[in-house]
Homo-oligomer: A and B are copies of this chain.
Amino acid sequence: MKLAIVGCGVVGSSWALVFARAGHEVTIYDRSPEAAEAAVAFVAAADASYAARCRIAVDLADALAGADYVQESAPERLPIKQALYREMDALLGANTIVGSSTSGFPASSFTTGLANAERYLVAHPINPPHLIPLVELVPAPATASATVTFVHDLMCKLGQSPIQLTREINGFVVNRLQSAVLGEAFRLVEDGICTPGEVDAAMADGLGLRWCFMGPFATIDLNAANGVAQYCENLGPMYYGLAKEQADPREWGPALIAGIEARMRETVPAQALPERRRWRDRFLSRIVEAKRAIGKELGRG
């Protein structure tokens, strides 16, 4: 299959690696030739044979020519996306499908009214997609169901883990779940219950240890003898009580943010942030690898 990358910063480069690693020819385009070169170098750093499958396109038309699928990862600004999709719409082959890496904009906001609107959708990864398999597929009202099915199958073949949202919703699924956690995390710190580091420990030394291999429903399903319905009967009223306490949306004010920033800088000073990001990526890579090996041995179920 012929795959294309349009826009290759951090996210686009990671997608290029996903595509080439799975054995596909990848055409790479960015308005900045240096960015396209950097993307190929990023792929080459993983494996030189992957980079051999990558070709830098001379322009957008060259990138799209003959592509079965295009992953668009342009900068996260709506006017940029709108202009880019108008441009792509005029160049698009009859069977080419385009997924956007956007985390924030519904596809309808930059594809409505375009000739090929039925072949555009959001395919939002969690960064970096070459390490984190989850991809959210979010159709616009104009997106054809065949488009969603095509991208779903492709993502599975690439080794990613796609989920299909039935319709556009603010934050999609991933950022809505993250929003729920961050909302409570900031609330706990603002109310003086515990420190940011203690919230982080509650997750990383607690809840996250199960959530990295089974989600919230699978978790509670095993926490009552007869499964999730019994769990809900036993604990539904308790959670409803907590939900009512948590139903006060709060803006993150300057004092709260400054306090959290100060706490975080005690652990990771500003100058150590780049190294900490490299540490995160190494740790993430190793955890994903370990999880895969364990799943192979014990079954993913």
Interface residues of A (CB under 8 A from B): 104, 126, 131-134, 136, 161, 163-167, 169-171, 173-185, 188, 191-194, 196-218, 220-222, 225-229, 232-233, 236, 238-252, 257-258, 260-261, 264-265, 267-268, 270, 273, 276-277, 279-280, 282-284, 286-288, 290-291, 294-295, 297-299, 301
Contact = CB atoms under 8 A, between A and B. Distances in A.
Contacts of A209: 131-132, 212, 284, 287-288, 291
Nearest to A220: B182
Contacts of A163: 194, 198, 201-202
B264 A252 contact: no
A interface: dominant SS: helix
A228 B260 contact: yes
A248 B247 contact: yes
Contacts of A247: 247-249
A77 B244 CA distance: 23
A182 to B, nearest CB: 6
A129 to B, nearest CB: 10
Contacts of A132: 205-206, 209-210
Closest A-B pairs by Cβ, 6 of them? A200-B215, A134-B206, A243-B249, A208-B211, A212-B212, A290-B290
A301 to B, nearest CB: 6
A284 to B, nearest CB: 6
B217 A211 contact: no
Contacts of A197: 217
Counting chain B CB atoms within 10 Å of each CB, which of A131, A173, A290 scores highest?
A: A173
Contacts of A204: 211-215, 218
Given A166-B193, A182-B239, A215-B202, A246 B245 contact: no
